[in-house]
Amino acid sequence: MNLKKIFLVPIMFTLILSLIQIAPAHAGAGDCFYTPPDTVTCTTGGSGNSGEGGEGGNGGSGGEEREPCTEVALADFSDILIPASYFSMLGSSAPPGSCIPASGLVDTCSGNIFAAYTSGLPTDCPTEYTPPPNPCTTELIVTPGGVICGTSWNWHLTASVRLPVISLDARPYPATLVRWEDTALRLGALPTNAGTGRLDYAALGGGSPGNPAPGDWRDIRLTLTFRPAQSTVSVSLPHIGDFNLPLAGSTGNPRLFYWDLPSHPEAGGGPLAGSVGLEELPADFPLFEGTARAPYRLYWDLRYLEWGSRCVEGSGGGGLNCHRDAYGNFTGHREWDWEGRSSGGEIPPSAVRGLPASMMADLDHNGAPDAYWDRSVQIRRMDNANRVDNPLWARTYSWGSIFYWGVREGQGQIGWQE
C-alpha cells in the first residue's frame, strides 16, 4: 500500500474503523522495521509455547512455529525511518533521498501501513549493508529453535546449533506472597552454545583419500556458535513491568521486588498450576506468566586440512624443482603435506532470508537488526542464601519461551520443610 493514498482520506478512516471492529484493541507493535517497498514488519514480542520439557515442569507444545495469520491485527508503531518520497503528496520539503521518522498504525499480519504521520525531522536513511560472506550457501534457516546451515555441494555438510537457554534464578519459587519483599530474581547464566558439522573428505582437487590431489580437503569442521551480544536480559512480569537484569552468575546478588496483587484471574493470572505441571502447588492455583529475552550474535568457524606443497631449500628425493635463483636455476624442492586452514566470521540477521520478525534485535536503534532475540528460558530455584546447588531446594523448571510464578495472599511458610 502506498502511503500517498492513505493520508486524510475519509474512506480509509471508514475502513480503519471497520477493521478495528475485527481487532477491538491494538497494542504497541514492539520492534518494527521498514521493509521496502511499502510495509512495516513488527513484532509484539509475545511469548509462545516452545521448548523442551525441563525437570520440574512440563515442556511446551514444540517449536515456536506460528500459524499464518488470517485476521487484521492493528498495532501502533513509532519513530520508524521511512523514505521521504512516500510523503511527497503532502508537499514535503525533505531533501531527496532522505528519511523521516514516522509513527502510525500497521497491520502486523500483512505489514500494510494503515496510517502514518511524520514524527521528526528528515535525516539520513540507513546505510545499505551487504552482509559478510559465510559458508551457508545451500541452506541457512534461523528459527527460535536454532540455526541450520548447509554448505556448498562441492563439500556438502550440515551444521546446526540451538539457541542457548537463559537461566533465571528465583526465590521463593514457584510461589511467593503478596508484598513479600524478599521475592528475588537473578540472571544466573547467559551461556554460549555451539554445534559442529563434520565431513571426512572433499575431493575438490580430484583426488581421493588414498591418493590426494592438490586442493583436496579432509577433516572438515564447521562450527556455529551463538554468543550473547550483551550481559543483560530483559524480563517482563505482570504488575512488575519490563526490566533488565545484569549477569550476576550463580553467586551474585539478585534483584528484590514484590507483588501488590495475587495471581488471581481478575489480576491477570493465567494458567493453573496443574495444567503446566507444577505439582508443588494446588492444581487450581492460578499463575502469572513471565517472559525473558536476550540478544545473541551468530558466528561461524571453518577448519580443515588441505593437500598442498611448499618449496623447501635444498635437494629432496625428487631433485630440485622450485625457487629459481638469479641465474634461473632451481634451488629447492617441493614437499607435499596436509596443511591447516581456517576462516570465520559473523552471520548477521541481514544474511538470513525469512528471519521471523520476533527474532530481530536492533541494539543500536538504527532501524536494522544486528542480533537475534533468544527467548528460551529456564527457572532455577534458589535458597535463602541465593544458592541454586542446595540439594534440598535445587530444581529447574522450563516451559520454553515463558515461565510461571504464583502469588498468594496470607502468611505462612513458602517452600518445604528441611
Q: Are residues 102 and 149 in the same domain?
A: no
pLDDT computed for residue 19 by the predictor: 40
Tell whether 124 is covered by a domain. no
> How many structural domains are present in the chain?
2
Q: Which of 38-47, 285-294, 329-338 has the highest mean pLDDT?
A: 285-294
Tell whether 174 is covered by a domain. yes
Q: Which of 84, 118, 152 is the last residue of a domain?
A: 118
Span 21-57, pLDDT tens digits:
333 334 444 567 776 666 777 654 433 333 333 333 3
Band of pLDDT at residue 377, cut at 50, 70 and 90 = very high
62-66 contacts at long range (C-beta below 8 A, 24 or more positions apart): 63/143, 63/144, 63/145, 64/143, 64/144, 64/145, 64/400, 64/401, 65/143, 66/356
Band of pLDDT at residue 213, cut at 50, 70 and 90 = very high
Span 79-118, pLDDT tens digits:
788 887 777 655 567 787 788 888 888 877 667 788 888 8
Q: Are residues 53 and 190 in the same domain?
A: no
Q: Kindly report the average pLDDT of the chain as a whole number.
A: 82
Tell whether 11 is covered by a domain. yes
Q: Which of 63, 98, 118 is the last residue of a domain?
A: 118
Band of pLDDT at residue 64, cut at 50, 70 and 90 = very low
Q: Which of 12-26, 284-298, 314-328 has the lowest mean pLDDT?
A: 12-26
Q: Are residues 310 and 244 in the same domain?
A: yes
Q: Are residues 265 and 287 in the same domain?
A: yes
Q: Are residues 217 and 353 in the same domain?
A: yes
Tell whether 28 is covered by a domain. yes
Tell whether 297 is covered by a domain. yes
Q: Are residues 26 and 50 in the same domain?
A: yes
Q: Are residues 215 and 104 in the same domain?
A: no
Average pLDDT, stretch 140-167?
Answer: 95
Tell whether 220 is covered by a domain. yes
pLDDT computed for residue 22 by the predictor: 33
Which phi and psi angles does 409 have, rounded to 5°?
A: -95, 160
184: containing domain: 130-418
Q: Are residues 102 and 182 in the same domain?
A: no
Q: How many Cβ atoms sit within 10 Å of the Cβ of residue 402? A: 23
Q: How many Cβ atoms sit within 10 Å of the Cβ of residue 61? A: 13
Residue 414 has pLDDT above 60, yes or no: no
Q: Are residues 54 and 142 in the same domain?
A: no
Q: Are residues 61 and 206 in the same domain?
A: no
Q: Are residues 94 and 141 in the same domain?
A: no
Tell whether 182 is covered by a domain. yes
Q: Which of 128-142, 170-184, 332-346 has the lowest mean pLDDT?
A: 128-142
Residue 236 has pLDDT above 70, yes or no: yes
Tell whether 123 is covered by a domain. no
Q: Are residues 261 and 395 in the same domain?
A: yes
Q: Which of 97, 118, 139 is the last residue of a domain?
A: 118
